[in-house]
């Protein structure tokens, strides 16, 4: 039963997935481990679950938090919530408890959908709990939300970082989502394929991975704990969407290079794509590659740019998707000439409904479109330049908002959190080497007293509130912040530290030097010591995974990722790997050799051919 037929509201993307069940009932919709689920089975499952949600009190005007691990059950839950007319709020189990509690309270959730094993970790609040694998605990009637606009039923509320130190919930409507799906049809065509789901539902690009794919009859693979490169090979994945950070990880290892070479379509977005990385990617695969651009407030993607088959000489965010408009305005709200720099404003059917419970903020960012009567556009805060051919070049931020490892973060949120630490009087956070492969966050701190906290203690403090990928890699204590002549903090006057002093701790063996070289390149440091823990050097889990891939490629041998967490210094890891090596020894391939192998591999692959296998 569709949402419209059940009285849950106007048609939405869930109805399009039901339509696929009628057209292609036996086609595989989901792959989850060893289980496959047809479109007909998915439709029956979600209809039963939607009825259960209705009986629990969910429906139009209600918000349901979804606190589940990535699985077919999570996908079915989202579809079922839309079938019964409710909107979902992502609650990622990997997020800090304090952040989850804030989202649950700020959004005014009516219920949280989870499973019994996750219940002890679920956010606290007055909401009802709905367990997928057991009877629901008793609860009162579910409240309808009074902060929703009347213009379009809300599909989801996704929390992004806020400059005041508290995240903001972006309300995206069903009509926004349907427009996105239509615009992707125009961009990608009707090539049916197998897509890999890699993105948390707390990141809005997951909307494409989950709903465009299923509503168009594609097969969606839930990879579980399987590494991305292995999942691509195991499931015959030919379509992928991911961030540049994940691309960098795949390019670093031989398994990832083979995976990229096997793809037919690749969408890259969520953060700036550096030119050097784009060139490496183009050399590694003959897939059609699109650089995607768009903030959460305009429903995932608003513009795209295809990477040339002969390699890019520059990287652009491209042209607006169908039904969208991108204009560059100066400080007075007037269009700038081609070649001049302006702030990017986005209009069209993708412009979201606003911020939940933030009418003043909504009014300051979602503005009347002076070029289209009755329409609105979103002020992105991004700077751009229109090129002669009409494509737009991204030039950075007007404010201090950044994207790192796919996460959008307001610098002010990190600074506010740091200044709430009892040992910190003032904090400034900045990005070093922005737009480059070794981009990282640094924090400059003025201590509140003589008790200077350790970097490890500060990371633990921030980890209770922030995703791991956006915790600064270094903390630099200064007596006072440099000031400009008008008395403001001179951010440009803050200098990054050189390297952690080696303290007679330089790598000693060839293997230690190879590991240290890779780790230094990943962290953007001139060098690293041999006996300092990777985490204390500022490495987060994605960077450790990249180090793992690089070492595997150098040694031409597979070993478990957990090894790097058990032996988490250069010297300990080198000693362990040397002890585990066969008597003949492991060959230390150079990075240049690996890249040359990737180029030869990509050159041999003919369009449409099965992926080759290299040794």
- End-of-domain residue from the set 225, 241, 257: 225
Buried (b) or exposed (e) across 183-216, using 16+ Cβ within 10 A?
bbeeebeeeebbbbbbbbbbbbbbbbbbbbbbbb
CA 124/CA 591 separation, integer angstroms: 48
Question: Which positions ≥6 away from 106 have C-beta within 8 Å?
Answer: 159, 166, 167, 169, 356, 357
CA 318/CA 303 separation, integer angstroms: 6
* 146-160: average pLDDT: 88
pLDDT band at 607 (very low <50, low <70, confident <90, very high): very low
Q: Comparing 111 with 125, which gets the higher pLDDT?
A: 111
* 533-540: average pLDDT: 78
Contact 519, 440 (CB under 8 A): no
* CATH number of the domain residue 147 falls in: 3.40.50.12780
Range of the structural domain that residue 76 is part of:
13-225
Q: Give the start-end residues of each E strand in 269-375.
A: 288-293, 303-306, 319-320, 324-329, 341-348, 354-355, 366-368
* 219-227: average pLDDT: 93
Answer whether residue 277 is part of any domain: no
Answer whether residue 477 is part of any domain: yes
Does one domain contain both 38 and 186? Answer: yes
Of 200, 213, 230, 18, give the one whose Cα is nearest residue 93: 200
Does one domain contain both 580 and 442? Answer: no
Contact 200, 70 (CB under 8 A): yes
Q: 3-state SS string over 378-397?
A: EEEEEEEEECCCCCEEEEEE
Does one domain contain both 533 and 447? Answer: no
Answer whether residue 357 is part of any domain: no
Answer whether residue 204 is part of any domain: yes
Does one domain contain both 70 and 125? Answer: yes
* CATH number of the domain residue 549 falls in: 1.10.1200.10
Question: Which positions ≥6 away from 569 have C-beta within 8 Å?
Answer: 530, 531, 532, 533, 534
Which tokens sit at 75?
């996908």
Does one domain contain both 99 and 189? Answer: yes
pLDDT band at 239 (very low <50, low <70, confident <90, very high): very high
If one counts the domains in the chain, the total is 3
* 263-290: average pLDDT: 93
Answer whether residue 283 is part of any domain: no
Answer whether residue 252 is part of any domain: no
Does one domain contain both 109 and 31? Answer: yes
- End-of-domain residue from the set 185, 204, 225: 225
Of 310, 264, 281, give the one whose Cα is nearest residue 609: 264
Distances in whole angstroms, Cα of residue 185 to Cα of each of 181, 189, 192, 241, 584: 6, 5, 11, 15, 54
Does one domain contain both 195 and 60? Answer: yes
Answer whether residue 278 is part of any domain: no
Work out the number of other CB atoms within 10 angstroms of the CB of residue 438.
16
Q: Concatenated DSSP letters for 463-510?
A: HTTS-GGGS-SEEEE-SS--B-TTSSB-GGG---------TT----SH
* 360-373: average pLDDT: 92
Q: Do β-strands 474-477 and 440-447 pair in parallel, antiparallel, or remain unpaired?
A: parallel
Q: Given this model, what pLDDT does residue 135 score?
A: 85
Instruction: Write the pLDDT tens digit of every residue in 51-102.
Output: 999 999 999 999 999 999 999 999 999 999 999 999 999 999 988 898 999 9
- End-of-domain residue from the set 449, 467, 493: 493
Does one domain contain both 540 and 414? Answer: no
Q: Given this model, what pLDDT does residue 5 score?
A: 60
Does one domain contain both 478 and 568? Answer: no
pLDDT band at 604 (very low <50, low <70, confident <90, very high): very low
* CATH number of the domain residue 442 falls in: 3.30.300.30
Q: Given this model, what pLDDT does residue 280 score?
A: 92
Does one domain contain both 174 and 75? Answer: yes
Q: Given this model, what pLDDT does residue 572 score?
A: 85
Contact 49, 114 (CB under 8 A): no
Which tokens sit at 238?
């030919």
Answer whether residue 420 is part of any domain: yes
Does one domain contain both 116 and 211? Answer: yes
Does one domain contain both 214 and 67? Answer: yes
Of 360, 222, 392, give the one whose Cα is nearest residue 291: 392
Specify the range with the lowest mean pLDDT, choosing from 143-157, 251-265, 361-375, 479-493: 479-493
pLDDT band at 1 (very low <50, low <70, confident <90, very high): low
* 190-216: average pLDDT: 94
């Amino acid at each position: 039963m569709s949402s419209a037929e059940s009285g849950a509201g106007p048609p939405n993307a869930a109805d399009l997935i039901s339509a696929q069940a009628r057209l292609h009932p036996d086609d595989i919709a989901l792959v989850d481990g060893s289980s496959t689920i047809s479109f007909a089975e998915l439709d029956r499952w979600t209809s039963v679950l939607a009825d259960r949600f209705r009986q629990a009190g969910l429906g139009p005007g209600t918000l349901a938090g979804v606190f589940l691990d990535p699985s077919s059950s999570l996908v079915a839950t989202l579809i079922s919530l839309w079938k019964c007319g409710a909107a979902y709020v992502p609650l990622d189990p990997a997020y800090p408890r304090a952040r989850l509690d804030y989202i649950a309270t700020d959004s005014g959730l009516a219920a949280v959908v989870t499973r019994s094993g996750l219940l002890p970790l679920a956010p606290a609040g007055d909401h009802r709990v709905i367990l997928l694998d057991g009877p629901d605990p008793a609860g009162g009637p579910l409240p309808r939300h009074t902060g929703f606009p009347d213009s379009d039923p809300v599909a989801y509320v996704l929390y992004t970082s806020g400059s005041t130190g508290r995240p903001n919930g972006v309300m995206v409507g069903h009509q926004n989502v349907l427009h996105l799906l239509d615009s992707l049809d125009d961009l990608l065509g009707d090539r049916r394929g197998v897509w890999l789901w890699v993105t948390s539902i707390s990141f809005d690009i997951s909307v494409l991975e989950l709903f465009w794919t299923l509503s168009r009859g594609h097969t969606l693979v839930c990879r579980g704990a399987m590494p991305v490169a292995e999942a691509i090979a195991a499931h015959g994945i030919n379509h992928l969407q991911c961030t540049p950070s994940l691309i960098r990880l795949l390019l670093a290892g031989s398994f990832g290079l083979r995976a990229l070479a096997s793809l037919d379509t690749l969408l890259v977005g969520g953060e700036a794509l550096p030119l050097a990385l784009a060139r490496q990617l183009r050399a590694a695969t003959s897939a059609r590659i699109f650089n995607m651009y768009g903030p959460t407030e305009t429903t995932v993607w608003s513009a795209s740019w295809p990477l040339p088959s002969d390699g890019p000489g520059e990287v652009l965010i491209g042209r607006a998707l169908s039904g969208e408009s991108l204009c560059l305005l100066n400080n007075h709200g007037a269009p700038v000439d081609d070649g001049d720099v302006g702030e990017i404003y986005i209009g069209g059917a993708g412009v979201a409904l606003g911020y939940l419970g933030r009418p003043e903020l909504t009014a300051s960012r979602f503005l009347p479109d002076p070029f289209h009567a009755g329409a609105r556009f979103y002020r992105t805060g991004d700077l751009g330049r229109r090129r002669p051919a009409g494509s737009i070049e991204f030039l950075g931020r007007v404010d201090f908002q950044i994207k790192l490892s796919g996460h959008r973060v307001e610098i002010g949120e990190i600074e506010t959190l740091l200044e709430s630490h009892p040992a910190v009087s003032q904090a400034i956070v900045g990005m070093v080497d922005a737009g480059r492969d070794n981009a990282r966050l640094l924090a400059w701190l003025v201590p509140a007293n003589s008790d200077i906290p350790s970097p490890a203690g500060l990371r633990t403090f921030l980890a209770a509130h922030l995703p791991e990928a956006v915790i600064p890699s270094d903390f630099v204590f200064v007596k006072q912040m440099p000031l400009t002549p008008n008395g403001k903090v001179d951010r440009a006057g803050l200098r990054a530290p050189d390297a952690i002093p080696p303290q007679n701790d330089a790598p000693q063996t060839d293997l230690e030097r190879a590991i240290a070289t890779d780790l230094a390149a990943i962290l953007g440091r001139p060098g690293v010591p041999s006996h300092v823990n990777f985490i204390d050097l500022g490495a987060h889990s994605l960077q450790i995974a990249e180090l793992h891939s690089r070492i595997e490629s150098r040694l031409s041998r597979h070993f478990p990722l957990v090894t790097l967490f058990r032996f988490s210094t250069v010297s300990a890891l080198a000693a362990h790997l040397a002890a585990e090596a066969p008597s003949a020894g492991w060959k230390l391939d150079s990075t240049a050799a690996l890249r040359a192998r990737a180029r030869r591999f990509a050159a041999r692959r003919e369009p449409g051919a099965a992926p080759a296998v290299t040794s």
